[in-house]
Amino acid sequence: MALMTKEQYYESLKNVHPTAYILGQRVENTYEHPLIKRMVAGVAQTYALAHEPEGRKYLVAKSKLIDEEVSRFNKFYNSQDDLLAKVRMLKFLTQRIGTCFMRCSGMDAMNAVGIETYNCDKKYGTKYHERLLNFVKHMQKNDFTVFSGVTDVKGDRSLRPSQQKDPDLYLHVVDKNDKGIVVRGAKIHQTGSLCAHWGLIVPAREMHEPDKEYAVCFAVPVDAEGIIHIYGRGTLEARELEDCDLGNIEYSKFANMVIFKDVFVPWEQVFLCGEYEYAGPMVRNFGNFHRHSHGGCKSGVGDVIIGAAATAAEYNGLPNVSHINNKLAEMLKITEALYGCSIAASVEAESTESGIYIVDPVLSNVSKLYEGKELQEAVRMMIEIAGGMVADLPSDKDMANPEIGPLLQKYLKGVENVSTEDRIRLFRLIEKLAFESRDIVSNIHGGGSPETHRLTILRNADIESKKKLAKNLAGIKEEKELAPGSLLG
């Protein structure tokens, strides 16, 4: 079974029993909980669309590992075309789901880990890459969903992992034997961990020799003993709890803290353990891949933002107004630019010795920086176009009240040919696009902080060659120092 159906995905979750807490309560069958089920529904759509003709073109690929068709979410990036296909797939999905569907993080982690396990094995003769290949084959054959555990809670940000007063503020190895390792710590901002079957856990930063117990990478089932998932709150969740005032929105997003309370991991699931020099490259690769992914998914969300704004203008009776059209043009500039950077990062990708292609880091990070700043501007312009009703519409319960419902139908009406119900549905969508905290913060911090994006650009941009270009055009000779007073020659 290399490709699950939507129904099989839901059935598979019945066999996963994570330890999970939501709003202080231990919860069984988390996939049914009102704060979880809408993101599960988004993940389920990635399975459903893989069986439809249009979706199949984006979501299904041939695997060299098992010589079968598999989900692209469980495939290595073996070419520039694979990276192009990834960006196009993510845009396709967000245009239809409108929010996060989580599976790209596991895909990006697999590839990032694949590059560095190969490099580590080459230097030290370890067996990490072989283990990773076996893990990926297992994911492909069963079409499992994988979340990536990257971000540690970090404690005092000025201190390295080994310098923290509490050693558990970065995930680390606390014991090992001939059967495996035991890890302790916590990962935060774990989008959709309760929608997944497995986690692929990756170091969050560069490590030095004193930090080697923190240089650990492994795979673990989401319901392994000692793993605790704790729901992280966001805005608008009261509506999901009440199943009210959601418009027609089927999909949502959540993120957990995942605590590792002395979790045992067998050696066959360990892909790095103490080889500290590979921790930094591993997480940098992940960051570049994941920022590259954002260029696809966030441009798809951008298309929804633009569509919602344009429809709001029509429903308000203001089509083809010049200042609104100007805003729509600016919004198109933003979404196409961040998408274009990710496409370009795919075209400029280069092969590594592992056979996995790595994206151009400058272009992928430029796309992410553009998203973090400019996509917020697109949201602002959407709100400008839509108007103040985005903020404070009466409740669906008021609409259903026999005394005031007819009055609301009358006074919330827009143009004649659009029902009040449809107008409210659109404003509910705009409200979610504008005010859902997890998505807004993800636009800025997803895949790492903006400062990380800037540092990556500077680290990989060849500034010296650009200086030479300028000096050459200015007639400056580099082979000898200029004599005093010689600037004007």
pLDDT tens across 117-145, in order? 999 999 999 999 999 999 999 999 999 99
CATH label of the domain that carries residue 126:
2.40.110.10
Closest by CA to 388, choosing from 438, 449, 352, 434, is 434
Of 242, 277, 312, the position where a domain reaches its end is 277
Q: Is the dihedral of CA 27, 30, 33, 38 positive or negative?
A: positive
Question: Would 466 be classed as within a structural domain?
Answer: no
> What DSSP letter does each residue of 26-94 carry, written as one string?
E-SSGGGSTTTHHHHHHHHHHHHHTTSHHHHHHHEEEETTTTEEEEGGG----SHHHHHHHHHHHHHHH
User: What total of structural domains would you count in the chain?
Assistant: 2
Interval 131-187: pLDDT, tens: 999 999 999 999 999 999 999 999 999 999 999 999 999 999 999 999 999 999 999
Position 439 confidence tier, pLDDT thresholds 50, 70, 90: confident
Alpha-carbon gap, residue 336 to 296, rounded angstroms: 10
Alpha-carbon gap, residue 227 to 81, rounded angstroms: 37
- The phi, psi pair for 426, rounded to 5°, reads -65, -45
Checking if the pLDDT of 484 tops 80, the result is no
Alpha-carbon gap, residue 11 to 47, rounded angstroms: 12
Output the pLDDT for position 249.
Answer: 83
Output the pLDDT for position 412.
Answer: 96
Position 446 confidence tier, pLDDT thresholds 50, 70, 90: confident
CATH label of the domain that carries residue 299:
1.20.140.10
- The structure's pTM equals 0.92
- Kindly state whether residues 236 and 101 are assigned to the same domain: yes
Interval 345-397: pLDDT, tens: 999 999 999 999 999 999 999 999 989 889 999 999 999 999 999 999 999 99
Give the domain extent around 238.
6-277
Report the 10 Å Cβ neighbour count for 337. Answer: 17
- Kindly state whether residues 251 and 392 are assigned to the same domain: no
Question: Would 404 be classed as within a structural domain?
Answer: yes
Closest by CA to 431, choosing from 239, 243, 294, is 239
Output the pLDDT for position 1.
Answer: 58
Output the pLDDT for position 370.
Answer: 87
Report the 10 Å Cβ neighbour count for 18. Answer: 21
